[in-house]
Structure 1
Amino acid sequence: MYRARDHVENEAWLAEIQQAADRLELETAARSRAADLFLSTVSDADDPEDRSKRAVAAASLYAGSLIEGDQRSQQVVADAMDVSRLTIQQRWKSILKEAGLQPPSW
């Protein structure tokens, strides 16, 4: 769960997630899920240079699209968020676990 303050403090990151979702033509449910996942884990990603936040945002976008059945490849999401595919690969499962969801075993 996240606080309303987290939403306000991360407006720029949420906007970036939405812009990437626009480029990926994601459905509303996937966008909403990505924002929720990001806000739920962002407090664990305090980084003065915002590198961790970018990684969490990208992995949240990938995981949100996966959960909502509007999946895009890790590479396509990575390109849209300007991170490496490895960044998403290393983080998306832990984001799902933190949200109380079971990552797929494939």
Structure 2
Amino acid sequence: MYRARDHVENERWLAELQQAADRLELGTAARSRATDLFLSTVSEWDDPSDRDADSRQAVVAASLYAGALIESDQRSQSEVAEAAGVARLTVQQRWKDLLDEAGLEPPTW
């Protein structure tokens, strides 16, 4: 769960998420799920050794991929990475852990 303050503190990143979702032409449900995932887990991903912007951009990408997957509006990791401005490997390495942090079970396929 997240607080209203999390939304305010992450306005920039939520705007980035929406812009990437526009580029991916994601539906409303996938966008909403990605936003919830981002806000629910972004504080878990703040790594003092990482640069803050890189860490949050990675969470944006992982949230988009996972949100689209959950809502059956799937896009490839490469498509999401390109839309979010990160490497495909970033999406690959983060999305399952993001689901786990949100209390969701990643698929086992």
Q: CA deviation at 1:48?
A: 4.8
TM-score, reference length from structure 1: 0.95
Asked if residue 73 in structure 1 is aligned to residue 76 in structure 2, the reply is yes
Identity across the alignment (%): 75
| Paired positions, count | 106
- Any unmatched runs of 5+ in structure 1? none
Q: CA deviation at 1:7?
A: 0.2
Structural mapping, 1:32-71, within 5 Å: 32-46=32-46, 48-71=51-74
Amino acid aligned to 1:64:
G
Aligned to 1:5: 5
CA distance in 2 between partners of 1:48 and 1:58 (Å): 16
- Deviating above 3 A after TM superposition, structure 1's stretches of 4 or more consecutive aligned residues are none
Q: CA deviation at 1:45?
A: 2.6
Indicate the SS of the match to 1:50.
helix
Amino acid aligned to 2:94:
R
